[in-house]
């Protein structure tokens, strides 16, 4: 039959357990059980030094999310296809680890970030690059599985697109630093990218891209030596303070200057005519179609398909022309 513990035995057992816990805590404390004898040792990997805080990584991510939106707009207008660019990950890793992730062959550009001393690296997947080149040459932008690098002509075309992407980078970095990114060199082999030490820490920003039906990625790598001068500004507080500032006179003038360079389609509508299908089938060369508008009457001028002006048709030398007479008032309820 098992022995039954009395209340005195239970109290002694509890006191013994409490003494053991206090002894363990004293032994693990920096001062030790009898005074300052032990020190806390923190593991530090010299191959992967922690040079970026979580707050700084998060600020870099927010900054490049803005760049992703600018790139989506720019590339969509250039290739005339549905284009989306979105940040998928932001990580801190060594430069050697970054180059180990790059495909070969690929498109790898070394970007100067004046006035910052260090470079930036941009990698673009070959399938996405070829789809954009095909679209720029008037093709359908079909996805092709090609096991080759880019030709010299294709590299020149992609460089032109990259210059527009770098304009988005310049605009996105305005709240952080006034930089002038430019392409310094392009290679297809990651082994040839040896501008910085292999163990240099970098921030790697990966973008997921969709151009038409093609899927791929674009990767930015920014070494610590490049970001070091602006690290104090990489905080969420500074970022939100800069994003909340009201636009100044320079911002307004820049926006207006860019808006004035936007091209729009303007067309003049001489008139309308309603015909039966039977009449259309019988139309031959030399037939005259009577319009419902008067010859001397005003014609409608459309801007991107929207009626905006009334004008009078005429000639200027050998060219047909119109003279704007008045503005069409828009319905405030529309």
For residue range 250-286, list pLDDT tens digits in order: 778 888 888 888 888 888 888 888 888 988 888 888 8
Average pLDDT over residues 299-308: 88
What is the pLDDT at residue 333? Answer: 57
What is the pLDDT at residue 155? Answer: 93
CB 170 within 8 A of CB 197: no
With residue 286 as reference, give the H or E element that holds it: none
Q: Given a cut of 60, is residue 127 above it in pLDDT? A: yes
Residue 132 corresponds to which tokens in the numbers above?
A: 């954009």
Sheet architecture: strand order including 180-187: 83-94, 201-211, 214-223, 119-124, 107-114, 180-187
Q: Given a cut of 60, is residue 8 above it in pLDDT? A: yes
How many beta carbons lie within 10 A of that of residue 101, not counting itself?
14
CA 103 to each of CA 37, 166, 188, 218, 270: distance values in angstroms, whole numbers, following the listed order = 53, 22, 9, 11, 57
Q: Given a cut of 50, is residue 313 above it in pLDDT? A: yes
What is the pLDDT at residue 332? Answer: 58
- Compute the distance between CA of residue 119 and CA of residue 184 in angstroms, rounded to an integer: 9
- Average the pLDDT over each of 11-20, 91-100, 133-142, 219-228 and give the range with the smallest value: 11-20
CB 209 within 8 A of CB 215: yes
Q: At the fourth CATH level, which superfamily is domain 54-258? A: CheC-like (3.40.1550.10)
What are the boundaries of each domain within the chain? Answer: 1-41, 54-258, 263-276+291-334
Q: Given a cut of 90, is residue 206 above it in pLDDT? A: yes
321-326 contacts at long range (C-beta below 8 A, 24 or more positions apart): 322/268, 325/298
CA 74 from chain centre, in angstroms, equals 10
What is the pLDDT at residue 170? Answer: 92
Residue 286, phi-psi category: left (phi > 0), alpha (psi -120 to 50), beta (remainder): left
What is the pLDDT at residue 72? Answer: 92
CB 240 within 8 A of CB 147: no
Residue 183 neighbours by CB under 8 Å, 6+ apart: 109, 110, 111, 112, 159, 162, 163, 166
**Among residues of the chain, what percentage have pLDDT more than 70?**
81
How many beta carbons lie within 10 A of that of residue 186, not counting itself?
16
- Compute the distance between CA of residue 317 and CA of residue 105 in angstroms, rounded to an integer: 57
263-276+291-334: CATH topology: Surface presentation of antigens (SPOA) (2.30.330)
Average pLDDT over residues 85-107: 90
What is the pLDDT at residue 119? Answer: 92
What is the pLDDT at residue 207? Answer: 95
Q: Given a cut of 70, is residue 10 above it in pLDDT? A: no
Q: What is the pTM of this model?
A: 0.60
What is the pLDDT at residue 257? Answer: 84
Grade residue 1 by pLDDT with cuts at 50, 70 and 90.
Answer: very low
**Across the chain, what does the average pLDDT equal?**
82
Average pLDDT over residues 53-58: 85
Grade residue 186 by pLDDT with cuts at 50, 70 and 90.
Answer: very high
Average pLDDT over residues 191-212: 88
Average pLDDT over residues 195-214: 89
What is the pLDDT at residue 260? Answer: 85
What is the pLDDT at residue 15? Answer: 74
Residue 235 corresponds to which tokens in the numbers above?
A: 């905080």
Sign of CA dihedral 78, 82, 87, 89: negative
């Amino acid at each position: 039959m098992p022995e039954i513990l009395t209340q005195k035995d239970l109290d002694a057992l509890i006191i013994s357990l409490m003494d053991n816990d206090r002894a363990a805590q004293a032994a693990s404390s920096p001062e030790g059980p009898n005074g300052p004898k032990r020190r806390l040792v923190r593991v530090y990997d010299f191959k992967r030094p922690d040079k970026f805080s979580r707050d700084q990584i998060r600020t870099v991510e927010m900054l490049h999310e803005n760049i992703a939106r600018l790139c989506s707009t720019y590339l969509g207008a250039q290739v005339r296809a549905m284009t989306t660019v979105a940040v998928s990950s932001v990580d801190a890793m060594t430069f050697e680890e970054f180059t180990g992730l790059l495909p070969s062959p690929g498109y790898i550009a070394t970007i100067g970030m004046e006035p910052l001393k260090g470079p930036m690296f941009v990698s673009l997947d070959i399938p996405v690059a070829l789809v954009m080149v095909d679209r720029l040459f008037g093709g359908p932008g079909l996805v092709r599985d090609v096991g080759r690098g880019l030709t010299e002509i294709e590299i020149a075309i992609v460089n032109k697109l990259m210059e527009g992407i770098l304009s988005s980078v310049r605009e996105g970095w305005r709240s952080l630093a006034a930089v002038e990114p430019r392409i310094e060199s392009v290679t297809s082999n990651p082994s040839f990218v040896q501008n910085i030490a292999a163990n240099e820490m970098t921030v790697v920003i990966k973008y997921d891209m969709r151009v038409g039906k093609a899927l791929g990625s674009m990767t930015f790598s920014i070494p610590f030596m490049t970001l070091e001068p602006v690290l104090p500004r990489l905080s969420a507080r500074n970022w939100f303070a800069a994003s909340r500032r009201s636009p100044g006179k320079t911002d307004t003038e820049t926006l207006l200057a860019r808006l004035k360079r936007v091209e729009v389609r303007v067309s003049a509508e001489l008139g309308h005519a309603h015909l039966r299908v039977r009449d259309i089938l019988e139309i031959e060369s030399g037939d005259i179609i009577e319009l419902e508008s008067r010859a001397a009457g005003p014609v409608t001028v459309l801007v991107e398909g929207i009626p905006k002006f009334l004008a009078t048709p005429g000639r200027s030398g050998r060219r047909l022309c119109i003279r704007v007479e008045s503005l069409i008032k828009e319905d405030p309820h529309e």
